[in-house]
Structure 1
Amino acid sequence: MSDLLASDLRSPNAHSPNESASLTEWLDYMQQIHVSAIDMGLSRVLPVADALGVVQSAKDDAYVFTVAGTNGKGSTTAVIAEMCKAAGYKTALYQSPHLSAFNERVRINGEMVSDQTLIEAFSKVEAARLQCDLTLSFFEMTTLAALLIFAEADCDVWVLEVGLGGRLDVVNIIDPDMAVITNIGIDHVDWLGDNVEDIGREKAGILRKGIPLIYGAIEMPASVQQSIDTQQATCYQIGQDFSYRDIDATTWQYSNAAVTLQLPRPALSLTNTANALSAVLASPLDVDINAIEQALQTVKLGGRFDYRESHSRHWLFDVAHNEQGVEFLLAQLLPFWQQHVAKQSNQDSSANIPTPKIKMLFSMLGDKDIDKVVQRLTQAGLPISDWFVAEIDYPRAATTEQLQDVLVKYVDSTNMYEFDGLHTATHAVIEASQPQDLIVVCGSFHTIGEALSALSV
């Protein structure tokens, strides 16, 4: 999603890559061919999509889940796709943005497609674009390529994550058979509005006449209900039509009017998992309990409460970048932290090891509400001993000064360390931490991606 907004200056004079061009060359080229990085609306996209035949292919040959919402889209789409794959369906999954490699966005049966598959699709999209004499943004070009790949692979199920909003997002050229709205929060106010009613109206734009909607939040804006009524959609809402409860570290329970299931606990948010399971159960697809259980034990998604061990340190990566995302993170982090402390103490009860602490590796984009994110993180009761901050290598990144200006309101300056870049900050937090500590990396997809890149060197 965030790559849509990389810059407001593009050159329409770039030349199409030649036959031997690499994936990187294609991605660089597509960043240059449209005059604005974000251009919401479907009028330019639809003629190209029609020329490629992707809309008709989805309508004729696939069952389509489309997932919109402010937070949780990645986890929700990952769980839906994993369940469908486990049930034997050839399953396409489209997500954005990526953490490390662009190929992460386009998967078939859980596997990233190859560079060559992407290049061939980009070439076909480019030919159709030129034939239609139109310019397309980076996100429009790459989304059309993903849809073309799914059509040519004759996938049974398409699971599509909306990039920005819903109504005017390029993903919405495909008519879904099942819609999911994970939640409605304040984000992307320049494009979606600064209140939940306007934002809800945009996200509810993925609805079609008579299809089911899974709504994954307790509160529903009136604008969403109005869209449901207008489209005569069947809505299943969390807290009313389905619910879940946490049982223990390995088990949770899901319930709706028809079933109560005791299930293995996944590595992702239970709220998002319950929404995904509701979507699968409300579909006509044949997904049995064995496939559901298998999927919950195998599903994973980089950067979503993503625990790893690297460089003899404990790391937790989460892409939380707004207030609602931080609430999701904290709901999982607080009990996880208690388990981490207990585990460290039990590993060597005879040694006087220091009490574990949390080190925060943090950076955000400048157009996000940094203040609310930091305020919530610092007031959650976690023992965050130090903050390591640096500017992301991205056009919309918050400067180090912006980050400092916010942090100093909530964090003692002696516990705040600034660096030239995420690579340097990542290695600095390793040096400044102890093996029993937990390093939490959050604030943006780009923060996670750059930190992971630094750890791989």
Structure 2
Amino acid sequence: MGLERVIPVAEKLGVTRPEAKVLTVAGTNGKGSTTTTLAAILAAQGYQVGLYQSPHIYRFNERVKINGIEVDDQVLVEAFVRVDQARRDCQLSLSFFEATSLAAFLIFQQQQCDVWVLEVGLGGRLDVVNVIDPDVAVITNIGIDHVEWIGDTIEKIAFEKAGIIRPNIPVIFAGQQALPKAIQDKAQACQATLYAVNRDYFYQDADDGQHWNFASSGSTLRLPLGHLALDNIAAAIAAIQVSGLDVSEQALVTGIRNARLAGRFDVRQIAGKTVIFDAGHNPHGVEFLLKNLQKFMKNHDQYTEILSIFSMLGDKDINSVVKLLKGCILKWKIAELNVPRAASLAELNSALHTENNVEQFENIKAAFESALAEVKDNQIILVCGSFHTLEAIWECLEEWQ
């Protein structure tokens, strides 16, 4: 990781100082939901919004959107050609993610986007997204993940995330844990104004099950529940309030209703069966999944049991994820992912060794077909553990429609 390779290429392309307003989001979990909500609200207000996210699940184009619509292949190809030429001119190599990020920035500039909403890929300080100075920085939360790259303690990881903070800008901290010292120190050094959840802005469910309340020093709002996690929607609203962008309450309402993100507690009907896709791949992500699962089962009391299609990457905390999930899974159907970092069946079985109902399959598709064939009316299918687990099923969805 580092910015030495990418900065000269970014400067050659002329993308490092956009005229647009830039909102950058870092964090261990919740970046996708926060950036999706930000983009949806700002588009509802009428801004031309460029949204850059990762990873994609099914189509590469998911990474680069303008006003919620994926850019088409030709636009991407032309941007990549320009990035590659600039790279050659600088006599430098770029990683996949670096080239993709620069292509996105180039597209947003060409399309004259008013606002760029950028999701950090990994960490913050040394991530390619950080070549662009944000006007607002959002840090969703700090959890233990990617320890081999960004550190093995909350403070070390917070130091990396805090790298997106710039002098004199507003910073939103939306994590539920105590505010890490590294973030406070960086904000102080930059004279950046720090707004923390449960200190500078607040949110809570309303009594009717349809709304929630948001409060900050300047406003109290009653808003509809959306499809994404409330803490991330609240972080997006807090960021918009301090951004200097003109956004009406109606745009907030419309944006919240429009904001959807594939693979985040994503409930679908497939072959007449209820299937939930969730890409949570670390303990914090799985806690969010379980919270939503509890709410879903309460509101749909015909469902009492869960079959899980499960696989993970080998460098993730499989034991902790299984420990959280095992209390609610009736049967596990596991298979190795078809990617280089996949956990082996032996690793998955080792984590599941105390579970009785574990079935092994040659691949994820076969595991899913088995679940479709046997799932009863009182059961739902939960596909989880990794974006790659979801992708293995989504690329075959037409077969079951």
Check whether TM > 0.5: yes
Please state if 1:51 is matched with 2:9.
no
Task: Say which of 279, 282, 298 aligns to 1:319.
Answer: 279
Task: Say which of 134, 139, 147 aligns to 1:189.
Answer: 147
Matches within 5 A, 1:382-397: 382=328, 384-397=329-342
Deviation at 1:86, TM superposition (A): 0.3
Task: Say which of 411, 422, 440 aligns to 2:382.
Answer: 440
SS of the equivalent of 2:137 reads strand
Q: Which amino acid aligns with 2:236?
A: A
Correspondence for 1:85: 43
Tell me how far apart the structure 1 counterparts of residues 216 and 127 of structure 2 sit (CA, whole Å): 31
Task: Say which of 424, 440, 446 aligns to 2:366.
Answer: 424
Q: Which runs of 5+ in 2 are unaligned?
A: none
SS of the equivalent of 1:54 reads coil
Task: Say which of 64, 82, 87 aligns to 1:124.
Answer: 82
Deviation at 1:436, TM superposition (A): 3.5
Matches within 5 A, 1:214-225: 214-218=172-176, 219-225=178-184
Deviation at 1:371, TM superposition (A): 0.2
Residues 26-48 of structure 1, C-alpha deviation per residue, up to 9 Å, x if partnerless? xxxxxxxxxxxxxx110110110
Counterparts in 2 of 1:308 and 1:249: CA distance versus 1, 3 Å: farther
TM-score (norm 2): 0.97
Matches within 5 A, 1:62-73: 62-73=20-31
Tell me how far apart the structure 1 counterparts of residues 289 and 195 of structure 2 sit (CA, whole Å): 25
Q: Which amino acid aligns with 2:11?
A: D
Tell me how far apart the structure 2 counterparts of residues 313 and 405 of structure 1 sit (CA, whole Å): 30
Tell me how far apart the structure 1 counterparts of residues 120 and 398 of structure 2 sit (CA, whole Å): 30
Q: Which amino acid aligns with 2:257?
A: Q
Tell me how far apart the structure 2 counterparts of residues 319 and 239 of structure 1 sit (CA, whole Å): 27
Is the CA contact (8 Å cut-off) linking 1:79 and 1:276 kept in structure 2? yes
Matches within 5 A, 1:263-412: 263-341=223-301, 344=302, 356-379=304-327, 382=328, 384-409=329-354, 411-412=355-356
Tell me how far apart the structure 1 counterparts of residues 255 and 378 of structure 2 sit (CA, whole Å): 31
Deviation at 1:359, TM superposition (A): 0.8
Deviation at 1:317, TM superposition (A): 0.9
Tell me how far apart the structure 2 counterparts of residues 336 and 145 of structure 1 sit (CA, whole Å): 39
Tell me how far apart the structure 1 counterparts of residues 253 and 100 of structure 2 sit (CA, whole Å): 33
Please state if 1:454 is matched with 2:396.
yes
Q: Which amino acid aligns with 1:104?
A: E
Task: Say which of 241, 244, 250 aligns to 2:200.
Answer: 241
Tell me how far apart the structure 1 counterparts of residues 184 and 212 of structure 2 sit (CA, whole Å): 30
Is the CA contact (8 Å cut-off) linking 2:297 and 2:304 kept in structure 1? no
Tell me how far apart the structure 1 counterparts of residues 202 and 353 of structure 2 sit (CA, whole Å): 40
**Which structure has the greater CA radius of gyration?**
1
Correspondence for 1:145: 103
Is the CA contact (8 Å cut-off) linking 1:314 and 1:435 kept in structure 2? no
Q: Percent identity?
A: 49
Correspondence for 1:33: none
Please state if 1:172 is matched with 2:130.
yes
SS of the equivalent of 1:327 reads helix
Correspondence for 2:210: 250
SS of the equivalent of 2:152 reads coil
SS of the equivalent of 1:226 reads helix
SS of the equivalent of 1:88 reads coil
Is the CA contact (8 Å cut-off) linking 1:313 and 1:436 kept in structure 2? no
Q: Which runs of 5+ in 1 are unaligned?
A: 1-39, 345-354
Residues 93-146 of structure 1, C-alpha deviation per residue, up to 9 Å, x if partnerless? 000000100000000000000011110001000000001000011110111111
Please state if 1:262 is matched with 2:222.
yes
TM-score (norm 1): 0.85
Tell me how far apart the structure 1 counterparts of residues 257 and 125 of structure 2 sit (CA, whole Å): 34
How many residues of Structure 1 are paired with residues of Structure 2 in the alignment?
Answer: 397
Which stretch shifts more, 242-251 or 43-52? 242-251
Q: Which amino acid aligns with 1:445?
A: F
Is the CA contact (8 Å cut-off) linking 1:64 and 1:176 kept in structure 2? yes
Tell me how far apart the structure 2 counterparts of residues 241 and 330 of structure 1 sit (CA, whole Å): 28
Deviation at 1:255, TM superposition (A): 1.1
SS of the equivalent of 2:198 reads coil
CA-atom RMSD, angstroms?
1.0
Tell me how far apart the structure 2 counterparts of residues 373 and 157 of structure 1 sit (CA, whole Å): 36
Residues 283-316 of structure 1, C-alpha deviation per residue, up to 9 Å, x if partnerless? 1111100100011111100001111111111011
